[in-house]
Amino acid sequence: MENHIYQVLVIGGGINGVGIALDAAGRGLDVMLCEMNDLGSATSSRSSKLIHGGLRYLEHYQFRLVREALAEREVLLKKAPHIIWPLRFRLPHQPQLRPGWMIRAGLLLYDHLSRRTTLAASHALTFAADSPLQPHLHRGYEYSDGWVDDARLVILNAMAAHDKGACIRPRTRCVQAQRTDRIWQVTLEDSNSGQQYQVQAHSLVNAAGPWVSQLFEHSLHQPAPQQIRLVKGSHIIVPRLHCQPHAYILQHQDKRIVFVIPYEDDFSLIGTTDVEYQGDPASATISAAEMDYLITTSNQYFQQQLSTDDIVHSYAGVRPLLDNAANSAQTASRDYQLTLDAPAQQAPLLSVFGGKITTYRKLAQAAVDQLVPGFPTAGPAWTEHAHLPGGDFDSQPQLLQQLSTCYPWLAPQVLRRYVRSYGTLCTNFLQNCESVEGMGAHFGAGLYEREVRWLQQAEWAQTTEDILWRRSKLGLRLNPQQQQRLTRFLSGDQHPADR
C-alpha cells in the first residue's frame, strides 16, 4: 500500500463514510476507507433506527431537508428491503401541547412534500377499546415512515464498496495527514497491533462524524472550517409494551417528541433525548435523568407502566449537528454541509459536517460530485437504483417462504432473522448445509458457527460486541455464559478474517 496512490481516501467508517466510499468506488475511482474502531461503532449504530422525513423538523421550517429525506425514504425502501421496511406511526393527540389544526397541516405537508409510491397516507383515527394507551387518550393520527437496522446499513454499504474494489480498513486510525503538492501523505495505525504505515491519496475525505473537527486539530494540524454541536441522544429497550405492529410518537410537555418502536419482536425501543455533550463521543452513556425522562414520557401515555427495573438495555449516541446558533439542541439543524478545500495545484480535502441516516446516500452522491472534476475518467452518479447486498428480492414473506422450503430444518425464527439481516446473502453461509448439525457450534438464540465465520470473513467482525450488537441484536437474547462461550470461540479462532 505504501507504493500505491489511491484516488480517494475516506476517513471515517460511519454511514456517511461508507456511503461516500461506495459511491466513489462505483464510479470507477480507486478508494480506501479507514475507521479507527469497528464499522458503524459510534453514532451510526446508536440511532432511533428510523428512515424518516422528520415530521417535527417542519416546526423549525427545515422544508428542504424534510423534502429530501422523504424522497430518500422511497429510494432506500427499494435498495434494502431486508433491513428497511415501512412502519406506521400513531400520534396520540394532546390539544394542550399542539392544536389539531397544526398536526393536520403538518401531516398534509408531510404526505405531499415528496411523491409516495410505497407508503400509505396519513389519517385521523379514534383509538379502539384494545388500545394500549391510557383510557383518556381517545383520538390521534397515523402516518407512515420507515424502520432501518442502522448498523447493518453501514456494513452493507461497506460490503458493496468492497465489491466495487474499495479497500476497507476498520480498526485503522488516521494519525497524521499532510499535503505534498498534489498528494496527501497519510500515516495510519493498526488499532490492534499499533503498527503504523504510510499511504498516499490524490484526495482526502474527512467523514469522521463527531470527530470531524478534532481530526483537523489532531491529524491535519489546521483549524476546522466549521464547528459542530455535539448532542447526545439516548434510548432504552424494555419488554414490549403492546402487541400491535405500530410505533408511537409521544409529545412531551417540553414540546419534544419520544418514539416507542416495536423492536426485535419482543421489545420496545424508547427514545430519544437531546442533551448537549462535551467529551469523547465514544464514552457517551445514558444518564439517570435521561432514563427518568423516557420512562416518565412513556408512563404518561401507556397503560403498561415502566420503572428502571424494566430496562433490558440502553445506549447513547452523539450526533454531530451543524452549529447554527440554535438556542436548544432540539432546534439545531439535522441538515449537512460539505466543505471543499481545494487550493490550486494542491490535493483536495472534502469535509462532512452533520447529516442524518436517511439522507446519507444523497450526501454521499453530493460529496463525490464535488471530487470528480479532478478525476476525468469517473463515471456518473449511480446509487439511486442499485440494491445493497442481499436486497435483490421482491418481498420478505416471499424470500422467507423460499428459505423455508430449502432449509426446513432451521427454526422459523432463525430464518426470519436471516431474511431481516442478510436477505439473499444468507445463502452464502447456508450453502451445502443439509442439517442443523452442519451449522456447527450453537452459541444460543439461533447463532451458529457458520454465521459467525461468515461475519468474520465477509463483514469484518472481530469481537463479541461486533457480532451481538452491530451485526445482529442477539446481545438481547444470549445470557452471560453464552456470550462468554462466543468470546472464547473468537479468541481461539485460527482463521480470522483477512479483510
pLDDT in tens, 250-271: 999 888 999 999 999 999 999 9
Name residues whose C-beta falls within 8 Å of residue 141's C-beta, 6 or more positions apart in sequence: 90, 91, 93, 103, 104, 107, 122, 123, 124, 125
Q: What is the pLDDT of residues 146-156, one digit of tens each?
A: 999 999 999 99
- Whole-number Cα distances in Å, 259 to 19, 126, 147, 219: 26, 20, 12, 38
Strands 313-322 and 447-448: unpaired
pLDDT for 493 equals: 52
Q: How many CB atoms lie within 10 A of CB 176?
A: 15
DSSP structural state of residue 181:
T
Torsion of CA 451, 453, 458, 461, to 10 degrees: 100
pLDDT tens, 363-382? 999 999 999 999 999 999 99
Q: Is the pLDDT of residue 74 over 80?
A: yes
Place of cell 480498513: 169
- How many Cβ atoms sit within 10 Å of the Cβ of residue 42? 23
Cα 251 from Cα 302, distance rounded (Å): 13
Percent with pLDDT over 70 in the chain? 97
Q: What is the rounded distance in angstroms from the CA atom of residue 473 to the CA atom of residue 272?
A: 19
CATH class of this structure's domain 5-43+152-227+333-385: alpha beta
Among 234, 258, 239, which Cα is nearest to 315's?
234
pTM of the model: 0.96
* Cell 383509538, located at residue: 127
Of the candidates 137, 47, 58, which has an alpha carbon nearest to the alpha carbon of residue 90? 137
pLDDT, average across residues 335-360: 95
pLDDT at 60: 80
Q: CATH 3.50.50.60 region(s) of the chain?
A: 5-43+152-227+333-385
CATH 3.30.9.10 placement within the chain? 83-148+230-320
The C-alpha cell that represents 427 in the structure block: 445463502
- Give per-residue pLDDT as tens, 289-333: 999 999 999 999 999 999 999 999 999 999 999 876 666 666 677
Topology annotation, domain 83-148+230-320: D-Amino Acid Oxidase; Chain A, domain 2 (3.30.9)
Q: What class, spelled out in words, does domain 396-491 have in CATH?
A: mainly alpha
DSSP 272: -
Q: How confident is the model at residue 56 (pLDDT cuts 50, 70, 90)?
A: confident
Residue (of 475, 498, 455, 486) closest to 152 by Cα position: 455
List, by residue range, all CATH 1.10.8.870 domains of the chain: 396-491
Q: What are phi and psi of 98, to 5 degrees?
A: -145, 130
Question: For 105-156, what is each residue's pLDDT tens digit?
Answer: 999 999 999 888 889 999 999 999 999 999 999 999 999 999 999 999 999 9
Q: What is the pLDDT of residue 330?
A: 66
C-alpha cell at 156: 452493507
Strand order in the sheet with 172-180: 5-6, 196-201, 183-190, 172-180
Mean pLDDT of 42-64: 92
**Could you tell me if residue 432 is left (phi over 0), alpha (psi between -120 and 50 degrees) or otherwise beta?**
left
Axis-axis angle for helices 412-421, 396-406 (nearest 10): 130
Mean of the pLDDT values across residues 472-484? 98
